[in-house]
Chain A
Amino acid sequence: MLVTARESFCVALTRGVRLPKWGQARVDGKFTRAIDLSGAQGVIVLLEPACGLVPHGIRLSPADWPRLHMSARLGDEAVLAADRLRFVRSGLVIDLTMAQTWQARLTDISIDWTRPQVVRAFERVRAQMAAQASASPQDLAAILFARRIATVTPALIAAFRRLDAAVACEHLGGLVGMGPGLTPSGDDFIIGCLAGLTVSARGERARLHCLMRIAQTLVTRLAATTRVSRQHLSDAFVLEFAQPLAALAGALANGDEDVVEHLRAALAVGAHSGADAAAGLLLALEAWRAPDAARAPVALLNAIDPPRAPALQLER
């Protein structure tokens, strides 16, 4: 069965507009709203149409998602070649030649705390998060994780403020793979932190170096978490973030009036993931709220060696 390409297809790819040379993979996770394909080079997430985009995600059209979801089974072999994703057993082919590409561009955004609307937006989001956290039913792992976060937070904020990447990594590294969920809460929290630091860097040389050192150090800890989470962390280490989180970070940085709507969309991701990422985002924004190091152009970011994350190798 050939699924015809439609404009509503979207592909979110890291730093590239073409599909990766990817070869063979297998369905190794089938969920209500996503199907994970794992290959030698990483994970690609096939998403239902209503999902926010994620790096290395392919969002299907409303007409085609049900066909894929109904036919796919764990272990099914899939081949991605020549812009077509073919499922061997079912014969389903997804034609991606007309797929649109998407990329979160948080590096283009800088938060400006001198603007009153930015402060107001931050306070609104923080109040909503505090209320939500106090009301959320949690299981044992969530409670234990929350206790750990509460212990780590003061030292982590202090390390961020001192631009002490080594100490920050000690604390963040202890969170890799920790907590409930297929993407454990600690990983989501770290991703949120990285998003917050990205929009808070504001082109300042010292902050950018700190951010990149954190990413370069944490990339060595990837083996400590789940396969899917490794991919999301790898993307975050090259400053690629999922759409709902990126939109929330952008709305906070701009002081948008509808920031709470973006928060709701972010919180709707997974059972814990959205909330954990938002918590990390707020912590990082708060930590770098105070002005410090000398400014440097944002372009400097590109001059710093990217971390060697085991992300997908993409055609350029």
Chain B
Amino acid sequence: MATLHKIIPKEYRDSVALMQLSSALSAMPGVVQASAVMATANNLELLREAGLNTDAVSAGPSDLLVVVQGEAGALPAALAEAQRRLSTQSAVAMNGAAEPLVMRSLTMALEHGPANLALISTPGEYATAEALKAINLGLNVMLFSDNVSAADEAMLKRRAQAKNLIVMGPDCGTAIINGVPLAFANVVRRGAIGCVAASGTGLQEVTSLIDRYGQGVSQAIGTGGHDLSVEVGGITMLKGLADLAADADTAVIVLISKPPAAAVAERILSAARACGKPVVVNFLGADDRALTGDNIHGVRTLEDAARAAVALAQGKAPSLDCAQPSPPIVPMRLRSGQRYVRGLYSGGTFCYEATLLLSEALDEVWANTPAGRAHRLEDVWSSHGHTLVDLGDDVFTRGRPHPMIDHRLRNERILREATDPQVAVILLDVVLGFGSHLDPAAEIVPTIDSARERAARDGREIAFVGHICGTQGDPQDLQQQTARLSRAGMQLTQSNAQAVRLAQKIVTVGAGQA
């Protein structure tokens, strides 16, 4: 094992940037560990004690020290990469925002070409002002920012409504407008199904499944998670519904949300009844049969929503109970004490749906975002019973990238769950598409291998069950991701709902009895 270092004199980077640099270098081929620290005397001593002889006698506390350890041949490239990353950041800091040309205002952007939609992603406190400016300029708005108050959201949406514009968001992470994926979205073919959703990963799942089932999407409109609250009144969902009803390219409409406030739900459903097109409604956790009637088709899961919409687009009647059976269990040896499912999710709606489905079938279900009969998990860092965790929740993402981008936190949790002798199934989601990690299998497969090894040392096996939310067109190569995860022994299903049912079956029927 070799060690190489580089000193960059008088170089200041904030702690997050240094952490990201260390993380990026550690992930390079042939690099075992890497660190970017200020070259203080105590740090040099610390590194020497750890066997990383830096010989950096001339460095001082104001200098940045990058140390990499691993295969000798790989280290120069790692240091070059460090230099490249630091130089890129330096150029930005030295030149301010002047080069390359950055659009500093919406007006300036409009001067460079026509547009009818502004995607706004700023800290929440500036977002309202920017969205207002956009509306005043006659632009529709996709508001990626969160931390916008309900009052501001309602105000923005009413202003937009008065100008016949739409505000998607705040906290709208997914949309596909005129075939263009915006923010976290998948590459889906165009077609006759239009979606409006108050859920980002819910919208990704439904549009991806529609694509896989051979149909396409006309528009996928995000509303933000609070649109269907009493304060906001579902303004965006109603606007999206009306736009899709008027859109000649849309034949079937899908609405996705957690159950709205009763008055808002009634307003949405009345508009849906009057829209003149078949509407599939998935209010996760609501009674789907009570929703069904006339042109409205209530469904229980995201997968059912996609299947029903595809059937309707093909001119067929959707089955009222189109729940798909889970695939057969892969035989494995589970001990009698192994009886729990541990779901570690990067997608909030996947976790919510899994919690609903699992708690319908099993007792002792705990979640940090409880739904159905599940209990609230007070200590989100440790599991007990059947536990489902949304790792994209604020408590986990503070100071770290979202788990769809950075898998480290989930990988650590997988390894911890694997040491629990009561765990039978580890349930995962893998989200592809723009914005997500470019090679999730590269992150997950080694972790599954390590987890299996740990369990095997105790004479146990663990079932890894999951699904991939994505399409053939996504940048991550769905086929290759599927093959690598399957080779690692992950039992992959077609949807989140199927994965949950398979996990449930494993712990109730027992894998050995398959």
Mark A residues whose CB is within 8 Å of B.
28-34, 36, 48-50, 62, 66, 70-75, 127, 131-132, 134-135, 137, 139-141, 144-145, 148, 174-184, 186, 223-228, 264, 267-268, 270-273
Contact = CB atoms under 8 A, between A and B. Distances in A.
Given A178-B43, A226-B62, A137 B409 contact: yes
B42 interface: yes
13 contacts: A31-B17, A71-B96, A73-B94, A137-B412, A139-B19, A144-B49, A177-B40, A180-B15, A180-B18, A182-B15, A225-B61, A271-B14, A271-B19
Interface of B: 12-19, 22-23, 26, 33-38, 40-43, 46-47, 49-50, 52, 61-62, 67, 69, 90, 93-97, 104, 123, 125-126, 379, 381-382, 395, 398-400, 408-409, 412-413
B43 to A, nearest CB: 6
Nearest to A228: B12
A224 B40 contact: yes
Contact of B381 (A31, A132, A144, A174): A132
B14 A34 contact: yes
Given A70-B96, A70-B97, A174-B42, A36 B12 contact: yes
Contact of A135 (B42, B52, B412): B412
A30 B91 CA distance: 12
Nearest to A131: B381
A134 B455 CA distance: 20
A140 B97 contact: no
Given A144-B46, A178-B43, A227 B62 contact: yes
B408 A137 contact: yes
Contacts of B62: 226-227
A34 B93 CA distance: 12
Nearest to B379: A131
A264 B95 CA distance: 35
Contact of A224 (B14, B35, B42, B125): B42
A66 B94 CA distance: 17
B40 A226 contact: yes
Contacts of B12: 28-29, 36, 182, 226, 228
Contacts of B412: 135, 137
B43 A141 contact: yes
Contacts of B18: 180-182, 271
B35 A139 contact: yes
A66 B126 contact: yes
A204 to B, nearest CB: 31
Nearest to B395: A264
Given A34-B14, A180-B15, 17 more contacts: A32-B14, A36-B12, A48-B123, A70-B104, A74-B94, A135-B381, A137-B408, A137-B412, A144-B47, A144-B49, A176-B40, A180-B37, A181-B37, A182-B12, A224-B41, A225-B40, A268-B398
Closest 10 CB pairs of A and B: A177-B40, A131-B381, A178-B42, A139-B22, A271-B15, A181-B15, A140-B35, A31-B14, A137-B408, A141-B35
A175 B40 CA distance: 10
A272 B22 CA distance: 14
Contacts of B46: 141, 144-145, 148, 178-179
A33 B95 CA distance: 18
Contacts of B97: 70
B34 A139 contact: yes
A32 B52 CA distance: 31
Max chain A C-beta neighbours (<10 A), residue from B26, B34, B50, B96: B96
A21 B26 CA distance: 45
B16 A271 contact: yes
A178 B40 contact: yes
A264 B43 CA distance: 28
Contacts of A33: 14
A222 B455 CA distance: 48
Contacts of A73: 93-96
Nearest to A268: B398
A144 to B, nearest CB: 5
Contacts of A50: 123, 125
Given A70-B104, A131-B381, A180 B22 contact: yes
Contacts of A70: 96-97, 104
B398 A30 contact: no
A19 to B, nearest CB: 24
A139 B14 contact: no
B41 A267 contact: no
Contacts of A271: 14-16, 18-19, 399
A148 B41 CA distance: 15
A127 B15 contact: no
A74 B382 CA distance: 44
Contact of B38 (A71, A127, A184): A184
Nearest to B21: A139
A224 B61 contact: yes
Contacts of B17: 31
Nearest to A175: B42
Contacts of A228: 12
A180 B37 CA distance: 5
A244 B26 CA distance: 32
A76 to B, nearest CB: 9
Contact of B125 (A62, A131, A181, A270): A62
